[in-house]
Structure 1
Amino acid sequence: MDITLIKRDKKRSDLRNELGISPSTLAKMSNGEYVALDVIGLICEYLDCNVEEVVEFVKIKN
């Protein structure tokens, strides 16, 4: 997501201020924790990008 923010000349604080996304949700994204799909959708709409520009699927090894 950070690369997409940079490309769009945006910062995490813009997501917090303009979309009302909590700092804890942004921290979860940074730490690879669960973030609700509706929040990811809001970010994608705001940044005018596809979901794969915001999230990455990493397969968990068993």
Structure 2
Amino acid sequence: MNNRNETRYFQVALTTLDENVLARELRPLKEIRDSYPKYLLTMDTFNKDANYDGIQKKNILDWLLEKD
């Protein structure tokens, strides 16, 4: 929950450039059957803003610097 009492889900991985790692990290978020936002945070700079069926991938440094 954030400071506005909104639910969000996060999965964190160093990198997901390997397809097997990406699949492993997305799996728990895909199993969640509600409509709250889901994020995959990584240190990746390549393909850092990808979207996987509603799961938003973000570079963790960019995410930390975002204004909420």
* TM-score, length-scaled by structure 2: 0.26
Higher strand share: 2
Q: Which structure exhibits the higher relative contact order, with contacts defined as CA atoms closer than 8 Å and separated by 6 or more residues? A: 1
Q: Which has the higher helix share?
A: 1
